[in-house]
Structure 1
Amino acid sequence: MPSRAESEVKAALAAVEAEDATLAEKVEMLMEIAMGLQTRPKSPEQLLQAVTLYETALALCPPEHALLRGRVHARLATALQAVPTDDIGPLKRAREHLETARGILEHEGRAEEIAEVEMNLGLVLQSLAAARAAPITAAISAYQRALRTFDGRRYPKEFAILQNNLATAFLSIPFSDERAKMREALAVQAFQEGLKVVDFVEHPSEYAMLQNNLGNALQTVSSAHTVENRLRALDAYEEALKVRTRAAAPVEYANTIANQANCLCGLPDDLDRPEAGNRGNLVRALARYREAAEIFAAAGEEAKVGAVAGMIADIEAELDAAPKSNGATPAYAAN
């Protein structure tokens, strides 16, 4: 017995076939139906059905409609990108479709369409690089090409996302050579460039993402100014929490307070007397980890619950073993 999604797709195909329309118009209809399935999929099966519809659209698309064909390739790639699987096959297919779309759109499409393809190609290449199936430098190049069109003045949202993606790509390169510090610096600079064009009022999601990820980068960069960087990271997390509230975005909020907790664990209570320890900041970190664990558990994020539980156990053991605080004021206390 066919599933509901399969039945819906068959009905859509039959409706398109019955329409008194040109082939190009039918291709447009199929794309619209596929985009509807893809926008808010209720199951992975709906994404696969969207892929089927895009493939049907490609098969129907007349050769003389090159621009339309390029757009179908681009949309099909985004559906393949979104398929939840550990198999890199869909990503490899997405890469092929994006490269085909780029080749067509470079002659037929608008600059913004080409830049969007480059943006998505960068994401696909970055995912393939994580699976050691593509060089991360290819992803970086795609993002940089997209930035030729998506500049900060005209396209602040896209610019911010691209800067975030660039930064995470830089940070994903193994730090095993003398250029590691330069790549870390480029990553921090990219986050900061993105933050120049967005704020928490006009572009709250992008602002919070950049601040959270900047905080993570500042925690991990190699530097002689570790404490200063951690204080800057805590400020970045506080900025992210202006958007990522527990009520509005509980999982994102939990991610950020867990990052904040990790940062607090490495800060002394008294910056002038680091040898006095950090019991006060450990207590604050413990409270944030416990809150994050509660939210992750409610959201069914079992892997994150496990990771945070490990941190909680480590801090509790450290607090049990450490001498009591001498009353020093913590280096940082979030409001």
Structure 2
Amino acid sequence: MWAVITNNLGSAYCQRLRGDEAENLENAIACYQAALQIRTREASASDWAHTLGDLGLAYSLRIRGDIAENLENAIACYQNALEVLTHSAVPHLLAIMQHNLGSAYRKRIQGEAAENIELAIACYQAALQVRTRKVFPEEWAMTQSNLGKAYSERISGEKAQNLEAAIACYQATLQVYTYEAFPKDWVIIQNNLGDIYKDRILGEKAENLEAAIACYQAALQVYTREAFPKDWARTQNNLGIPYFQRIRGEKAQNLEVAIACFQAALQVFKRETCPQDWAITQRNLGETYSDRIFGEKAQNLEAAIASYQAALQVYIREAFPQDWAITQNNLGFAYSERIYGGKAENLEAAISCYQAALQVYTRTAENTTILEWYMVDGKFLTFVVTSQSQTPLLWQSTPQDYQNLRKWFFEEYIDDYYEQQSQWQNQLEKRLGELAKILHIDEILAKIPPQCDKLIL
């Protein structure tokens, strides 16, 4: 009985709303580990597996400790539990383990990203053998949603087919996650579908953009500015993109709608509080002003230049080389088209911007490796580009790495750079060492071919 109560106490700590979340999870882990001293595999295999599953979940949620190690511990717990669980004896528990193992693999840091996603897909598909819509509708929908996310992130296989599989999963999910019954889950799926339709390869481009617009507009039924200001702003920014690209309707009017969406997002996104969201919205707004049909061309180009220059306040080369280069290229085009000012001066400014962009956009020569970083969906990706491989190698961070990077840059590095130059110089070597750890540089460098004699960051 002691083990049962101790296990239940762990579950209560894991779900606890009050107190420090990190401390609650540590208490939960301690309870589960204590219960396992009694709940052994030999004494009661099913109870042992149940507690291992709970412990795995606590490790996957853990805040303290190394994120990569926590996920490895979670994976080990789930794998051990699955050794004793059979489909006929405890199918529901088996499905929970498969689902949670899939989520751990999808977030996994160690190992090859492509292989981890394949393992995640296999786990979700195994869970769906038990989690049918008829018997477990909510669990079925949850697993379908995660399977859709895994397919949208998939590296192996054809990109077009992976996106189609993701769409099918999300559409299946919406059979259960309706607006009336599960509005919070429904809106997440609508946003995810909008992202995929926007980038979809198969089908008519015009139809895909209309579908993306419909999904984002649907999401705004839940994501109101009053209730979810940041989600509302992100959805406004997302909605502006397919309107900017829209094929149907009047082009001039579509661009006006896109501008209105980006401007709406900027009512919430501020440089001080949401710098990256603010910067990408500024760049999107700049692109739209650059193509704008209504209004004076000269004034539209000035607005585009102002937006690009605003984005470059956040997109500095050291922190965001890819975004910096893209914005420099866009700014160069705006200067080359500029009507105000001297033509010669504008062209010099354009040349300067293009040359800056080429510092990042270089041709990959033999035995040269390029490392590129991208910020997406609360994590950053590292691409290792070499002449030896037709496709880049991919490394993915964890959400915690992403948060550490934001803290390092916005709360430490950039503050001193602008306000305490002497301290910034004195701390530079130490902080660059911290940055290398956050970016997992040693792990990434291990992926570079041994014949490489030139590295471009």
Question: Secondary structure at the residue paired with 2:190?
Answer: helix
Query: Displacement, 1:272?
Result: 5.2
1:48 aligns with 2:9: no
Paired residues of 1:184 and 1:221 also in contact (CA < 8 A)? yes
- Larger helix share, 1 or 2: 1
> 1:309 pairs with 278, 297, 309, which one?
278
Q: Distance in 2 between matches of 1:258 and 1:153?
A: 37
Larger RCO (CA under 8 A, 6+ residues apart): 1
Q: Distance in 1 between matches of 2:208 and 2:73?
A: 41
Q: CA RMSD in A?
A: 2.8
**Residue in 1 that maps onto 2:62:** 83
Query: Displacement, 1:257?
Result: 3.0
Greater CA drift, 235-244 or 204-213: 235-244
> 1:165 pairs with 143, 146, 159, which one?
146
1:122 aligns with 2:102: yes
Query: Displacement, 1:163?
Result: 1.4
Question: Secondary structure at the residue paired with 2:246?
Answer: coil
Q: Distance in 2 between matches of 1:146 and 1:289?
A: 39
What's the TM-score, normalizing by structure 1?
Answer: 0.77
Q: Distance in 2 between matches of 1:251 and 1:109?
A: 45
> 1:65 pairs with 41, 44, 52, which one?
44
Query: Displacement, 1:250?
Result: 4.2
Paired residues of 1:67 and 1:109 also in contact (CA < 8 A)? no
**Count of paired positions:** 291
Q: Distance in 2 between matches of 1:43 and 1:272?
A: 50
Paired residues of 2:237 and 2:281 also in contact (CA < 8 A)? no
Q: Distance in 1 between matches of 2:168 and 2:110?
A: 22
Q: Distance in 2 between matches of 1:154 and 1:107?
A: 15
Kindly report which structure 2 residues correspond to 1:258-273, keeping only aligned pairs within 5 A, or say none. 258-267=237-246, 271=248
Query: Displacement, 1:243?
Result: 3.0
**Residue in 1 that maps onto 2:83:** 103
1:244 aligns with 2:220: no
**Residue in 2 that maps onto 1:17:** none
Greater CA drift, 113-122 or 149-158: 149-158
Alpha-carbon distance change, 323 to 215 in structure 1, aligned in 2, over 3 angstroms: closer
Alpha-carbon distance change, 246 to 160 in structure 1, aligned in 2, over 3 angstroms: farther
- Larger strand share, 1 or 2: 2
Q: Distance in 1 between matches of 2:110 and 2:200?
A: 20
Greater CA drift, 63-72 or 305-314: 305-314
Alpha-carbon distance change, 198 to 130 in structure 1, aligned in 2, over 3 angstroms: farther
> 2:214 pairs with 210, 232, 235, which one?
235
1:283 aligns with 2:262: no
Paired residues of 2:240 and 2:259 also in contact (CA < 8 A)? no
Percent of aligned positions that are identical: 21
Structure 2, unmatched stretches of 5+, are: 296-457
1:218 aligns with 2:197: yes
1:140 aligns with 2:121: yes
CA deviations over 1:83-136 (Å, ceiling 9, x no partner): 136631110110110011122222785211111111101100111168736531
Query: Displacement, 1:273?
Result: 5.3
Alpha-carbon distance change, 257 to 319 in structure 1, aligned in 2, over 3 angstroms: closer
Q: Distance in 1 between matches of 2:178 and 2:249?
A: 34
Paired residues of 2:95 and 2:130 also in contact (CA < 8 A)? yes
Paired residues of 1:160 and 1:206 also in contact (CA < 8 A)? no
Alpha-carbon distance change, 46 to 118 in structure 1, aligned in 2, over 3 angstroms: same
Paired residues of 2:259 and 2:289 also in contact (CA < 8 A)? no
Q: Distance in 2 between matches of 1:284 and 1:312?
A: 11
Alpha-carbon distance change, 202 to 86 in structure 1, aligned in 2, over 3 angstroms: same
